[in-house]
A and B are shown apart, each in its own frame.
Chain A
Amino acid sequence: MQQTRSVEIGTGLFVLLGMSALFFLTTQTTGGDNFSADKTYQVTAFFENVGSLKSRAPVAMSGVTIGRVNSVTFDGDTLQAKVVFEIDSKYDSIPDDSDASILTAGLLGSQYIGLQAGGSEDYLQDGSEIFFVQDAIVLENLIGKFLVGGGSGDKE
Chain B
Amino acid sequence: MTGLIRDIYNQVFEFVRTFGAFQLFFLRLVRHSPRMLVRRPGLVIKQVYNTGALSLVIIMVCGFFVGGVLGLQGYANLARFNAEDSVGTVVAMALIKELGPVITALLFAGRAGTALSSEIGLMKATDQLSAMEMMAVNPVRRVLVPRFLGGVIAMPFLVAIFTCIGLFGAHVVAIDLLSVDVGAFWQQMQSTVDPKDIREGILKSFVFGVVASLLAVWEGYNAVPTAEGVGRATTRTVVITAIAVLILDFMITAAML
Contacts and interface: CB of A to CB of B under 8 A. Distances in A.
Interface of A: 4, 7-8, 10-11, 13-15, 17-19, 21-22, 24-26, 28-33, 105-110
Given A25-B198, A29-B96, A29-B167, A17 B193 contact: no
Interface of B: 42, 45-46, 48-49, 52-53, 56, 83, 85, 92, 96, 154, 156-158, 160-161, 163-164, 167, 186-195, 197-198, 201-202
B191 A32 contact: yes
Contact of A33 (B49, B163, B191): B191
A7 B92 contact: no
A11 B193 contact: no
30 contacts: A7-B46, A7-B49, A11-B49, A13-B53, A14-B53, A15-B48, A18-B52, A18-B156, A18-B160, A18-B161, A21-B160, A22-B160, A22-B202, A25-B96, A25-B160, A25-B164, A26-B195, A26-B198, A29-B190, A29-B193, A29-B198, A30-B190, A30-B194, A30-B198, A31-B190, A32-B191, A106-B85, A107-B83, A108-B83, A109-B191
Contacts of B194: 30
Nearest to B154: A14
Interface of A is mostly: helix
Contacts, number: 82
Given A11-B49, A11-B53, A25-B164, 14 more contacts: A10-B49, A14-B49, A14-B53, A14-B154, A14-B157, A15-B157, A17-B56, A18-B156, A21-B163, A26-B198, A29-B167, A29-B193, A106-B85, A109-B188
Given A8-B45, A33-B191, A110-B191, A18 B158 contact: yes
Interface of B is mostly: helix
A7 B192 CA distance: 40
B157 A10 contact: no
Given A13-B53, A15-B48, A26-B198, A21 B189 contact: no
Contacts of A8: 45
